[in-house]
Chains A and B, each alone.
Chain A
Amino acid sequence: MAAFLVRRTIGAILVLVAVTFFVFVIFIVVPGGDPAERIAGKNATPQNIENIRHDWGFDRPFYVQYYKMMEKMATGSLVSYTSQQNVVQQIEQGMPATFSLSIGAGVIWLFFGILVGVISAISAGKFSDRAITVLALVGVSLPIFWLGIVTRYYLAEGGLTSFFPDGEYVPLTDNPAQWFFHLILPWTVLAVGFIGFYGRVLRGNVLDTSNEDYVRTAKAKGLPPKRIMRKHILRLSLIPIITLFGLDFAGVLGGGAILTETVFDLHGVGQYAAQSINNFDLPPIMGVTLYGAMFIVVFSVFVDLLYAYLDPRIRPT
């Protein structure tokens, strides 16, 4: 097991290195035009551009450029020239909001996704299954940002009612009740698509697993149906769900909930990236992209370990 952990960790580090290189390629190499101008952003004076060109090494070979970019990332000195702010600091400021949103939504969508999937599978073919399937299909077809806008309009800005707060994030330490109240709508909006998706995946898994030979054996042993469902079918069906969740959760933690954050004005990490887009301000986008990838890579290692624990066939040698 220890060897497996070491191997996976080394693999993860290699992936991270590849990720940084890839970020470098996306932002510096691929687009046409002058990288220095691009990084300098709007409102840059020719002097700024020259400074940046020198500071980032655009007048030197590409490996120097890569090195300089990595140096900035590693030392936390990546700076947005448009807003004159340190990217890393801005990310740190956005983390509480992003974490609050992600953790709350994650709990909701995991719980309800499993619930919906199980109900749907157990009553397969009957009305409740069909109804759930329809709802789930609609749920995964909604653009999240549109759902957020519409929800905000109807429930917070007077469309139907103004009961809910109109966006903004209240830190937990300031006022727990308001923190919660302000997050209800964002949590729901973010969770809807996932619930629909997970419900359908779980339903498919349960139906497939029900046809497996070992379920037939369990019946032949005379086990009661509830036990068969719980211990044999669900146990196996949930394994892929857990691994999916690990990666999706990592994604939203890393700023992947950019749309929900933006629509509800939560000023999290994702929104920081979104705002930078409007200004075509690249350094923050670079920073957040790297930040997000980091979460996913780290979580992947944990997910692999968890998977091995849950499925003995995969136990590493």
Chain B
Amino acid sequence: MAETLLQVKDLKVQFATEDGMVKAVDGVSFELERGKVLGIVGESGSGKSVTAMTLMGLTGGVNSRFEGEILYKGTDLLTLSDDQMQQYRGPELGMIFQDPMTSLNPVYRIGDQIAEAIRTHEKIDKRGAKNRSVELLRAVGIPNPEARVDDFPHQFSGGMRQRAMIAMALSCNPDLLIADEPTTALDVTIQAQIIELIGRLKDDFNSAVIMITHDLGVVADIADEIIVMYAGQVVEQASTRDLFYDPQHPYTWGLLGSIPRLDRPRPDRLHSIKGSPPSLINLPQGCAFRPRCQHAFNRCMERPALESHLDVATHLDRCWLDVPYKRSHRDETISGATEAA
């Protein structure tokens, strides 16, 4: 029986700027159980990173406005002060970031930075913390951790730095790990290793993981459930299997179609979604994806609700097209047989 760790209810995050109110996150809801992996997929500006950072309480500022609830183990994190949130970061919530080079302090040794996290939250002496650091480095696959623990970040390679970041994030045994584009800055060959590492550690620590990425390929293997975000809204939400086998939203088709595939006939052109993401200050009327959707019709001027149109109650999408139409038209995009005009 899996325990529900996190319930996000209609989360909205807005930033007041001199150009207007930026609606970065416009109503995101999901639940996450212990031991499960949630993938949040979207392009730059979709709101996926803001969602993650808001979970950690790192988006607060004079210009930020929040609505909704983030219930972690029953407590609404949005109502907590920064001091209170600080207690959660580390022992309950861990986060790893996109660029491991700039995310580690260059003047302190790796071991010291990990030990710092441990000693802030637990009563443990220096030697004990250092031993823990060594073990953590070993657990994330750093060779010869006894020696490497005294290295500086610039002495590590990119992949090793990311592993060290993972070690640091897990050092206080958090129950939720948020990974914000952990592999984007790394070589493809290292990507697979890092993903596999995160999966393994999730099992070892019995924690939940939120994996944020723009690359569907990254989450295909590891995620249990996937949320696709566009322009701050969730446009499709389903189990991984359902999303890949029965995708319901044109944007998802576009994402799937953009992946170069070795197991399909080579299309004339790799599909790309025409146009660019909308301004988050002036969202289009109705469906946010409408200006870029080749299947858009007049009902799309009204914003669709996120609901299930299938027998599977857990598969939600935000689209007015009916299911038979979708199933018959999506292969054009996904298999890349023709380029939409």
Which A residues are closer than 8 A to B by beta carbons? 212-214, 216-225, 227, 231-232, 235-236, 310-313
Which B residues are closer than 8 A to A by beta carbons? 56, 58, 82, 86-91, 94-95, 97, 99, 102-108, 116-117, 120-121, 152, 154, 165, 168-169, 172
Across-interface contacts of A218 in B (CB, < 8 A): 105
Nearest to A212 among chain B residues (CB) is B102
Most buried by A among B105, B116, B165: B105
Across-interface contacts of A219 in B (CB, < 8 A): 58, 89
Assess A221 versus B90: contact at CB under 8 Å? Given A310-B107, A312-B107. yes
Q: Does A222 lie within 8 Å of B89, measured CB to CB?
A: yes
* Min CB–CB distance A314 → chain B (angstroms): 10
Q: Does B97 lie within 8 Å of A216, measured CB to CB?
A: yes
Q: How many A-B residue pairs have CB under 8 A?
A: 72
Bound Cα distance A223, B88 (Å): 10
Q: Does A313 lie within 8 Å of B154, measured CB to CB?
A: yes
Bound Cα distance A225, B83 (Å): 9
Q: Does B120 lie within 8 Å of A313, measured CB to CB?
A: no
Q: Does A222 lie within 8 Å of B105, measured CB to CB?
A: no
Bound Cα distance A220, B106 (Å): 17
Across-interface contacts of A231 in B (CB, < 8 A): 108, 116
Bound Cα distance A160, B243 (Å): 83
Across-interface contacts of B89 in A (CB, < 8 A): 219-222
* Min CB–CB distance B107 → chain A (angstroms): 6
Q: Does A220 lie within 8 Å of B58, measured CB to CB?
A: yes
Across-interface contacts of B94 in A (CB, < 8 A): 220
Nearest to A125 among chain B residues (CB) is B62
Across-interface contacts of B88 in A (CB, < 8 A): 222
Bound Cα distance A222, B172 (Å): 10
Bound Cα distance A242, B89 (Å): 33
Beyond contacts A217-B97, A235-B107, A313-B154: 8 other A-B pairs, Cβ-Cβ < 8 A, are A212-B102, A216-B58, A217-B103, A217-B105, A218-B105, A222-B86, A232-B105, A311-B107
| Interface CB pairs A-B, < 8 A, 5 | A214-B104, A214-B105, A221-B90, A221-B120, A231-B116
Q: Does A311 lie within 8 Å of B106, measured CB to CB?
A: yes
Across-interface contacts of A312 in B (CB, < 8 A): 106-107, 152, 154
Across-interface contacts of B121 in A (CB, < 8 A): 222
Bound Cα distance A225, B86 (Å): 9
Say which residue of B56, B102, B108, B116 sits within 8 Å of A223 (CB atoms): B116
Q: Does A222 lie within 8 Å of B107, measured CB to CB?
A: no
Say which residue of B106, B108, B168 sits within 8 Å of A221 (CB atoms): B168
Bound Cα distance A226, B13 (Å): 27
Q: Does A222 lie within 8 Å of B120, measured CB to CB?
A: yes
Bound Cα distance A312, B154 (Å): 9
Q: Does B106 lie within 8 Å of A313, measured CB to CB?
A: yes
